[in-house]
Amino acid sequence: MIDKEISEIRRRISPEKNNIDIIRGRYINANRETICEFKSLFGLLTEDVIEKYLGVLRRVLSGTNGRNLVDIGFSMGQVEHGEEHADLQLLRKTGLQDDEAAKRFFDRAAGSVQSEGNTLILLAAETYDVPVKRRDEGGDGSSDSMFSYILSAVCPVKEAKSTLTYDPAEKDFRVRSCDWNVGAPERGFLFPAFDNRQTNIYNALYYTKDPGDSGEGFLGAVFGVEPPVPADEQKEKFETMLAETLENECSIEVVHALHDEFAERIDEHKKTRDPEPLVVTKRDVVNVLESCGVSEEKLEAFGKSFDEEYGAGADLAPINLIEPKKFEIKTPDTTVKVNPDRGDLVETRVIDGVKYLLIRADEDVTVNGVAISIK
């Protein structure tokens, strides 16, 4: 799903626009034992409870596409014969009315939870009358098709500390007993995907709060699929591949050139609001390496490693390869943070056989807040 489609569904998850009929949940302890399970008519809940539930569900559609939000694909076999996919479809088509399908879903999801505390698993269903053309694009909002989907959120529930509070009835201060508070979801999903503003039962949109978490247990249990490579792991693999294939030609200038190229593309993509996901290819990376004077031997080694690691013709999301606002240089005892736009201020030198980092200091320099002079 592209950002525009995700935003369109996220805007539905509001008190004014949502069309949620039923919300289900299972509350479990650290041993995955059920504390309680519920099924509620959403419209009969109080306004404040509705707003809290919607706030949790809306978080499942937030974050960076490609990092926190990841497309999950189902094979033809899974769609036709997979038990997990069949239950998701049944829950969607019945609006969560099928109790047996709901029980199987909660059993799978609860069985995958790895937490030292309590956990709330939420499940909601909604039907969206998709307009032919959105109002912000000049349409009149008339319906063209129906998009029925389910949203799920897996949230930690933590015990709050007791506090001293004022009791208006007694006109006195009391110690308030501990409450159990629902935290922001750690993972969740939207099924099916809303691709090209249409139902796509061959995909789901998976949410993870931590881009470094593969969600292997949850994805395997709920979807029956292998997890994609987490965003943080993609970055680590790319960095390792550069260092190992370029070897002594992996200089600070090469790393800065790649960072500049990717950051510029990310910034331009945001400015143009291009709905298509931003990707870079092996050829894009090789072009930058060539411009830095990397030898043909090292380029071939990089290309071979790229194909082995990601597959020939693979596209990578640059947002998963760099941190656009961060350019950091580390040694075992030193960390230097540089404005990404001024990486040219830092260079490496070998002086009398000793390796140095040189930082040009044309303006004021402070150490622990104290202005110093350089002689």
For the stretch 22-71, pLDDT in tens is 999 999 999 999 999 999 999 999 999 999 999 999 999 999 888 899 99
* Residue 98 contacts residue 106 (beta carbons within 8 Å): no
pLDDT at position 251, please?
92
> Would you state the structure tokens that stand for residue 11, as one six-digit string?
């805007």
Cα separation values, 372 from 130, 193, 358, 363, 367, Å? 63, 57, 17, 11, 7
107 Cβ neighbours under 8 A, 6+ residues apart:
none
What's the confidence (pLDDT) of residue 111? 92
Across 110-132, average pLDDT:
92
* Cα-only R_g, the chain: 26
Task: Assign 142 a pLDDT band (cuts: 50, 70, 90).
Answer: low
The pLDDT value given to residue 343: 85
Whether 145 shows a pLDDT value over 90: the answer reads no
Q: What is the mean pLDDT of the chain?
A: 90
**Burial (CB count <10 Å: 0-12, 13-18, 19+), residue 50:** middle
- How far apart are the C-alpha atoms of 316 and 338, rounded to whole Å? 25
Which of 286-296 are b and which e, b meaning 16 or more Cβ less than 10 Å from the residue's Cβ?
A: bebbeebebee
Q: Give pLDDT, residue 361.
A: 85
Give the alpha-carbon dihedral of 41, 45, 49, 53, to 10 degrees: 20
Q: For residue 162, what pLDDT band results from cuts at 50, 70 and 90?
A: confident
Q: Which residue has the higher pLDDT, 305 or 138?
A: 305
Please tell me the predicted confidence (pLDDT) of residue 114. 87
Listed in sequence order, the residues at least 6 apart from 148 whose beta carbon sits closer than 8 Å to its beta carbon are 92, 93, 95, 125, 126, 127, 128, 199
Instruction: Check residue 358 and report its DSSP letter.
Output: E
Listed in sequence order, the residues at least 6 apart from 17 whose beta carbon sits closer than 8 Å to its beta carbon are 11
pLDDT for 123 beyond 90: yes
Model pLDDT, residue 54 = 96
Q: Tell me: pLDDT of 136 over 60.
A: no
Q: Among the listed ranges 33-42, 132-141, 205-214, 333-342, which one has the minimum average pLDDT value?
A: 132-141
- Banded model confidence at residue 137, pLDDT cuts 50, 70, 90: low
**pLDDT value of residue 304:** 93
Phi, psi of 227 (to 5 degrees): -75, 145
Average pLDDT over every residue of 146-152: 95
pLDDT digits (tens, 9 = 90+) for 220-232: 999 998 888 888 8
Beta bridge partners of 187: 154, 208
Q: Which helix (H) or strand (E) holds 233?
A: helix 231-246
Write down the pLDDT at residue 107.
Answer: 96
C-beta of residue 189 within 8 angstroms of C-beta of residue 205: yes
In this predicted structure, the answer to whether residue 151 has a pLDDT above a threshold of 70 is yes
pLDDT(140) > 60 = no
- Tens of pLDDT, residues 286-334: 999 999 999 999 999 999 999 988 888 888 889 989 888 999 999 898 8
Share of the chain above pLDDT 90, in %: 61
pLDDT of residue 363: 82
Q: What is the pLDDT of residue 283?
A: 93
> What confidence tier does 133 reach under pLDDT thresholds 50, 70, 90?
low
What is the pLDDT, as a whole number, of residue 176?
Answer: 76
Contact 306, 298 (CB under 8 A): no
pLDDT at residue 139, as a whole number: 55
- pLDDT band, very low/low/confident/very high, at 345 (cuts 50, 70, 90): confident
**6 pLDDT above the threshold of 90:** yes
Residue 143 pLDDT exceeds 70: no
Q: pLDDT tens, 224-274?
A: 988 888 888 888 999 999 999 999 999 999 999 999 999 999 999 888 878
Which residues 6+ apart lie within 8 Å of 46 measured at CB? none
